[in-house]
């Protein structure tokens, strides 16, 4: 995301806005600059050769009359001596260009409708904050925390937030989710209880390391409130060995191991599968995937201390979370012992995420991180580890998170007939442009992510602008990956000329991993009743502006 | 393959054939049995209620006139007192129903035209031997080596092979391939020099373990003639350690390790890719894949003895063959050191194939076997092993056996931009029915193989009879595979009703491995200039007999 980097001269030139009408009402023509540049909403107040582009873009967006109405409204509000008081609800109702776009910051309310199209990071990024507070976004993008940005914002003040709206709401103790943490407003919520949400595509591939606050969240149950001082991780000992009861400090005494790992939910991109035929599951779009730098003890070190070794026959390491349903049943999952004991598999009992203690939504104080494996096995709020001859008996291990033939339905499904998902297949998606967007002719920038399971590196992403007839290889970005341990995604980008005369582009991406596995062309033949493993070519249709 | 299991009564009833004309010339009608049964070409000689089906089938196949001509010809030949002498060339020219189908056995010549349709293992299997010797096929299917089968064959004798044809041809010492071994006639030859050949689909999936004689052969150069007594494998020692010079006996002193491994050429199914657009390479069909039980020393044991250990940085184990081109350049390839040293990766220096010393075409006396990895790295006639900071400098490592985007052509290809193929993607193909075949209505049996690279097990094969609209899961057969070490293929089978009124079936198969990777729907988007990694859905069109 481009930070707001406005030269002070431009900002100071903006002072005194509202002293006159916008440029198209000026008797004097001021058509010096038609190009779109990152600058404030210059209102042609002084006639000093300043640009009209802000109003022009806004005018074309909203229609001239509407734009004028907003302008006047803003001016009236700012001129008042005692500030106008707005409720949160009123602010929230101004979240679209048609209603006007309001935001809050530090108890003040701003009408930034006119600024949306001028936002240097792009209109879509600013719109993520529409109708709510700017703080969570400025916390993500620290470049905003500069005096000239504050000054720019001040121009748009229309009033203040009702102080009553700042008191926290009373805790509803009858609601098992009442104690869930506060989440970042940019997250697109697929389910509030349990909380399941993904970052929007505009933000997802902006950062190689996903900020904790917008890392996708997949909860199956209410978030437990764990006291780190009394927390103990119970590790069942091997026959003849003692079990371990590890405090956070005990866990920190094991060698600290750090690794960058992409986590993906098995249901990522399920919404495309449900367009083929109804599936059972949350409507994840392309955002049920994120990347963090995790740190913690290696599971193999902890298991060795509890006396566990490689067995001759396949055995499983079972995990239980501290989250549980009203009957007391905890979330559970397992992975093969061979993977757990392989030092090269980098399986962690993680207590840090991007240099911070784990956020509550991501398993505070300890979660399992199993690189290259489906998110469902990376148990959060970890309470218990044991080595068993069978997979975890958990519903989520045995009766969910498995793939089936498209011919299998809820009448015929036999969950025992398919293996639990562990490593995931090769995956990629387009995050820019958005489906349905209108792009400028000339050149198009296509961006996205690509990843594969099992430590297999993405070696190529092919992008097509014509629905898959012709392809161009994208540039790959991101951390260099160790051979056989490519745990993290690649971000990718392609800049390509828009074919002349094209009114619409059917943009497609497909990735190849270092086992030369590829994504399937279409969704229907991989459709399955739970809508998991949706990794067909990702397709985005955009219009080309004439 | 069904063995020839004919009751003696039937066989003895066949004696005296040719004493009369075939049944349709009989004045007495003998229409007792119209069903197709495995029995000899009963010629209605005695009128003892015997079947006419042999002649009927043959009649419908060839037309009555032609069948009669063959019959008379056969009778004339058999009745001669001094046997007719045929050259190999004459026999070879009788390899189709239109010309008559001759075979040889032990210096005798047989016209089995009439028996083709009666062959219990199916006509297509017998036709593999048409125009040549039966011995190689009977060696494959030992059930033929029974007296009643010999007696049955004797009925078809038409003469003897010219003794001159049994003397070996003079060795042409100017031909570097003159010393290549004799091959099994069932192999479909894609290139004679160097020798490259695949088993036909009818035989490929008949055996879980491919017999050595029909295992696909991929040679890049003439086959070296290695003296096992003087053979030495040179293993370059690590810094500070001695190099090893290992005789075959030395190698046998390492612990013997056995493993069932499927080998596949990167070019398997290239012929489908070249139908999209021209590619450079041999026209392999579905048979550049086979499975054997390999035995030998583990590469990790040998490398440890030569002082090699895991390095911090990626290094490579380079192999050189004893096969070389006229400039003396040997075939070479490499694999990552991490794989070579991983005991679980089961990398072998193999000296046995299915319990026998390696055949010359498969690397006698020693070859590398790298489970889960492309055939090209499994160097045959192994002469030298070394650990290097870089991949093998060999042409075949650096300038071949890599995958590219469909947009890359010979003008734009940059071989350094793609990793060498190591693990292969998930693969499957249909071996029965054959493309273009006519099947009976009622029920269809579809058979084939499925495999994936990197030890990933095939967990499901979906088969469609309608081009991919609807799918049915096939039954999987074959050895149980260890988790993460599924080195060998699965054979599969589906028996399904032919949809009523269907005149044609568009049969498709696709496999899923335990990372839930799937095959891509179509070939064009994975097309590449070398025609490697051809793993789209396999499609076979068949007609349904009315």
**Chain A / chain B CB contacts < 8 angstroms:** 119
Q: Band the pLDDT of A311: cuts 50, 70, 90.
A: confident
- Do A515 and B425 count as a contact with CB atoms less than 8 A apart? yes
Cβ proximity of A55 and A43 under 8 Å: yes
- Active site includes B148? no
pLDDT (average), residues A373-389: 97
| Percentage of residues in chain B having pLDDT higher than 90 | 73
Q: Give phi and psi for A252, each to the nearest 5.
A: -70, -15
Which tens digits make up the pLDDT trace of A453-469? 999 999 999 999 999 99
Cα-based distances in Å from B373 to A482, B334, B376, B423, B453:
19, 11, 8, 4, 6
Cβ proximity of B364 and B226 under 8 Å: yes
DSSP percent split of chain B into helix, strand, coil, nearest 5: 20, 25, 50
Q: Given a cut of 80, is residue A333 above it in pLDDT? A: yes
User: Mean pLDDT over all residues of chain A?
Assistant: 86
Q: Given a cut of 70, is residue B17 above it in pLDDT? A: no
pLDDT (average), residues A520-543: 98
Cβ proximity of B533 and B526 under 8 Å: yes
Q: Given a cut of 80, is residue A479 above it in pLDDT? A: yes
CA–CA distance, B486 with B328 (Å, rounded to integer):
37
The three-state secondary structure class of B56 is: helix
Q: Which of residues 452-511 of B touch A (CB under 8 A)?
A: 453-454, 456, 459-460, 462, 468, 470-473, 482-484, 510
Which tens digits make up the pLDDT trace of A314-327? 799 999 999 998 88
- Do A468 and B512 count as a contact with CB atoms less than 8 A apart? no
Which tens digits make up the pLDDT trace of A245-296? 999 999 999 999 999 999 999 999 999 999 999 999 999 999 999 999 999 9
Q: Is A518 on the interface with B (CB under 8 A)?
A: yes
- Do A472 and B405 count as a contact with CB atoms less than 8 A apart? yes
Which among A56, A49, A57 is positioned nearest to A9, based on CA atoms? A49
Give the active site residue among B119, B183, B232, B477: B119
Q: Which residue has the higher pLDDT, A168 or A255?
A: A255
Q: Band the pLDDT of A175: cuts 50, 70, 90.
A: confident
Give the active site residue among B218, B257, B316, B384: B218
- Do B405 and A460 count as a contact with CB atoms less than 8 A apart? yes
pLDDT (average), residues B305-323: 90
Q: Given a cut of 80, is residue A401 above it in pLDDT? A: yes
Compare all CA atoms of chain B with the CA of A515 and give the residue at the minimum distance.
B423
- Do A405 and B473 count as a contact with CB atoms less than 8 A apart? yes
pLDDT (average), residues B472-499: 95
Which among A113, A75, A111 is positioned nearest to A91, based on CA atoms? A111
Taking the CA of residue B516 and the nearest CA in chain A, the distance in Å comes to 5
Residue numbers in A near B456 (CB within 8 A): 423
Q: Give phi and psi for A425, each to the nearest 5.
A: -80, 170
Instruction: Determine which of B267, B273, B405, B530 to mutate to test the interface with A (most A C-beta atoms within 10 Å).
Output: B405
Instruction: Determine which of A346, A427, A518, A521 to mutate to test the interface with B (most B C-beta atoms within 10 Å).
Output: A518
Cβ-nearest to B515 among A424, A462, A514: A424
Cβ proximity of A532 and A266 under 8 Å: yes
Cβ-nearest to A512 among B403, B462, B468: B403
Q: Which of residues 309-368 of B touch A (CB under 8 A)?
A: 314, 336, 338-339, 344
| Percentage of residues in chain A having pLDDT higher than 90 | 73
- Do A336 and B525 count as a contact with CB atoms less than 8 A apart? no
Which tens digits make up the pLDDT trace of B340-372? 999 999 999 999 999 999 999 999 999 999 999
Q: Band the pLDDT of A61: cuts 50, 70, 90.
A: very low
Residue numbers in A near B468 (CB within 8 A): 525
Residue numbers in B near A468 (CB within 8 A): 525
pLDDT (average), residues A384-409: 96
Q: Given a cut of 90, is residue A306 above it in pLDDT? A: yes
DSSP state of B520: -
- Do A425 and B515 count as a contact with CB atoms less than 8 A apart? yes
Taking the CA of residue A447 and the nearest CA in chain B, the distance in Å comes to 18
pLDDT of residue A258: 98
Q: Give phi and psi for A165, each to the nearest 5.
A: -75, -5
Compare all CA atoms of chain A with the CA of B454 and give the residue at the minimum distance.
A515
Residue numbers in B near A512 (CB within 8 A): 403
pLDDT (average), residues B48-76: 38
Cβ-nearest to A516 among B403, B406, B456: B403
Residue numbers in B near A519 (CB within 8 A): 520
pLDDT of residue A83: 86
Q: Band the pLDDT of B172: cuts 50, 70, 90.
A: low
Q: Band the pLDDT of A312: cuts 50, 70, 90.
A: low
Taking the CA of residue A353 and the nearest CA in chain B, the distance in Å comes to 26
pLDDT of residue B500: 92
- A249 contact partners, CB below 8 Å, separation of at least 6: none
Lowest mean pLDDT, pick from A280-294, B21-35, B316-330: B21-35
For chain A, the straight-line distance linking the first and the last C-alpha, in angstroms and rounded, comes to 27
Which tens digits make up the pLDDT trace of A87-124? 999 999 999 999 999 999 989 999 999 999 888 878 88
pLDDT of residue A276: 97
Q: Band the pLDDT of B408: cuts 50, 70, 90.
A: very high
- Do A520 and B521 count as a contact with CB atoms less than 8 A apart? yes
Which tens digits make up the pLDDT trace of B89-141? 999 999 999 999 999 998 999 999 999 988 887 888 888 899 998 988 887 77
Instruction: Give the range with max mean pLDDT: A103-112, B25-34, B466-475.
Output: B466-475
pLDDT of residue A76: 47
Residue numbers in B near A463 (CB within 8 A): none
Residue numbers in B near A310 (CB within 8 A): none
- Do A525 and B471 count as a contact with CB atoms less than 8 A apart? yes
Q: Given a cut of 60, is residue A35 above it in pLDDT? A: no
Q: Given a cut of 50, is residue B215 above it in pLDDT? A: yes
Cα-based distances in Å from A188 to A217, B35, B92, B386:
10, 68, 73, 54
pLDDT (average), residues A396-401: 96
pLDDT of residue B173: 61
Residue numbers in A near B471 (CB within 8 A): 405-407, 525
Q: Is B390 on the interface with A (CB under 8 A)?
A: no
pLDDT (average), residues A131-143: 82
Compare all CA atoms of chain B with the CA of A518 and give the residue at the minimum distance.
B520
- Do A514 and B419 count as a contact with CB atoms less than 8 A apart? yes
Residue numbers in B near A421 (CB within 8 A): 516
DSSP state of A457: P
- Do A471 and B525 count as a contact with CB atoms less than 8 A apart? yes
pLDDT (average), residues B197-203: 96
pLDDT (average), residues A79-92: 84
Cβ proximity of A115 and A67 under 8 Å: no
The three-state secondary structure class of A476 is: strand
Q: Band the pLDDT of B310: cuts 50, 70, 90.
A: confident
Residue numbers in B near A473 (CB within 8 A): 405, 407-408
Lowest mean pLDDT, pick from A121-135, A332-346, B3-17, B299-313: B3-17
pLDDT of residue A297: 98
Q: Band the pLDDT of A166: cuts 50, 70, 90.
A: low
- Do B525 and A510 count as a contact with CB atoms less than 8 A apart? yes
User: Mean pLDDT over all residues of chain B?
Assistant: 86
Q: Given a cut of 70, is residue A47 above it in pLDDT? A: no
Q: Is A123 on the interface with B (CB under 8 A)?
A: no
Cβ-nearest to A338 among B408, B484, B533: B484
Q: Is A424 on the interface with B (CB under 8 A)?
A: yes
CA–CA distance, B181 with B140 (Å, rounded to integer):
18
Cβ-nearest to B426 among A473, A484, A517: A517
Helices assigned H by DSSP within A14-134: 53-62, 64-79, 88-92, 123-127
| Enclosing H/E stretch for A204 | helix A201-204
Structure tokens at B14: 């066949």
- Return the active site residues of A: 119, 144, 218, 265, 401
| Percentage of residues in chain A having pLDDT higher than 70 | 83
pLDDT (average), residues B420-430: 98
- Active site includes B477? no
Q: Is B516 on the interface with A (CB under 8 A)?
A: yes
pLDDT (average), residues A185-191: 96
CA–CA distance, B160 with B108 (Å, rounded to integer):
4
3-state SS, one letter per residue, for B496-516: EECCCCCCEEEEEEEEEECCC
Q: Given a cut of 70, is residue B195 above it in pLDDT? A: yes
Q: Given a cut of 90, is residue A36 above it in pLDDT? A: no
- B102 contact partners, CB below 8 Å, separation of at least 6: B86, B90, B91, B94, B95, B109, B110, B111, B112, B113, B130, B131, B158
Q: Given a cut of 60, is residue A169 above it in pLDDT? A: no
Q: Which residue has the higher pLDDT, B1 or A529?
A: A529
Q: Is B418 on the interface with A (CB under 8 A)?
A: yes
pLDDT (average), residues B301-328: 91
Residue numbers in B near A267 (CB within 8 A): none
Here the ipTM equals 0.79
pLDDT of residue B224: 96
pLDDT of residue B71: 45
Q: Is B429 on the interface with A (CB under 8 A)?
A: no
Residue numbers in B near A472 (CB within 8 A): 405, 407
Structure tokens at A472: 């161009």
Q: How far is CA B140 from the centre of its chain?
A: 12
- Do A459 and B336 count as a contact with CB atoms less than 8 A apart? no
């Amino acid at each position: 995301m481009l930070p707001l980097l406005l030269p002070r001269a431009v900002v100071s030139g903006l002072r005194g806005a509202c002293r006159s009408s916008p440029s198209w009402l000026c008797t004097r023509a001021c058509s010096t600059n038609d190009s779109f540049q990152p600058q404030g909403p210059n209102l042609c107040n002084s006639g000093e050769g300043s640009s009209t582009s802000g109003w022009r873009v806004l005018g074309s967006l909203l229609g001239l009359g509407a734009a004028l109405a907003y302008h006047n409204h803003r001016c009236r509000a700012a001129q008042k001596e005692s500030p106008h008081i707005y409720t949160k609800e009123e602010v929230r109702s101004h979240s679209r260009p048609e209603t006007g776009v309001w935001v809050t910051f530090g108890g003040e309310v701003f009408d930034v409708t006119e600024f949306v199209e001028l936002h240097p990071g792009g209109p879509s990024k600013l719109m993520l904050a529409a109708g709510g507070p700017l703080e969570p976004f400025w916390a993500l993008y620290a470049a905003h925390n500069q005096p000239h940005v504050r000054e720019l914002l001040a121009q748009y003040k229309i009033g203040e937030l009702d102080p009553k709206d700042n008191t926290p709401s009373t805790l509803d103790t009858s609601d098992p989710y009442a104690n869930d943490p506060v989440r970042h407003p940019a997250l697109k919520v697929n389910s509030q209880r349990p909380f399941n949400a993904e970052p929007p595509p505009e933000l997802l591939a902006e950062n190689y390391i996903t900020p904790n606050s917008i890392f996708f969240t997949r909860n199956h149950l209410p978030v437990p409130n764990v006291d780190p001082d009394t927390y103990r991780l119970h590790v069942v000992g091997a026959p003849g060995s003692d079990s371990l009861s590890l405090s956070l400090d005990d866990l920190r005494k094991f060698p600290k191991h750090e690794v960058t790992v992409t986590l993906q939910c098995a249901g990522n991109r399920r919404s495309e599968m449900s367009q083929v035929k109804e599936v059972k599951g949350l409507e994840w779009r392309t955002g049920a995937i994120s990347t963090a730098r995790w740190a913690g003890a290696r599971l193999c070190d902890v298991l060795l201390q509890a006396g566990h070794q490689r067995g001759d026959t396949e055995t499983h390491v079972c995990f239980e979370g501290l989250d549980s349903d009203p009957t007391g049943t905890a979330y559970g999952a397992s992975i093969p012992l061979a993977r757990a004991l392989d030092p090269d598999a980098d399986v962690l009992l993680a207590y840090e995420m991007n240099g911070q203690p784990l956020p509550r939504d991501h398993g505070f104080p300890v979660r399992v991180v199993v690189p290259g494996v489906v998110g469902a096995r990376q148990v959060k709020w970890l309470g218990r580890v044991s080595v068993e001859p069978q997979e975890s008996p958990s519903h989520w291990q045995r009766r969910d998170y498995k793939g089936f033939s498209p011919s299998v339905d809820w009448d015929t499904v036999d969950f025992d007939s398919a293996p639990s998902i562990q490593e995931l297949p090769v995956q990629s998606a387009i995050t820019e442009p958005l489906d349905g967007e209108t792009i400028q002719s000339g050149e198009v920038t296509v961006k996205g992510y690509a990843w594969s399971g099992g430590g297999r590196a993405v070696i190529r992403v092919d992008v097509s602008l014509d629905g898959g007839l012709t392809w161009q290889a994208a540039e790959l970005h991101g951390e260099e990956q160790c051979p056989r341990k490519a745990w993290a995604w690649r971000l990718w980008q392609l800049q390509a000329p828009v074919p002349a005369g094209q009114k619409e582009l059917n943009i497609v991406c497909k990735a190849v991993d270092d086992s030369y596995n590829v994504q399937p062309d279409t969704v229907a033949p991989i459709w399955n009743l739970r809508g998991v493993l949706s990794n067909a070519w990702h397709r985005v249709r955009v219009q080309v502006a004439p």
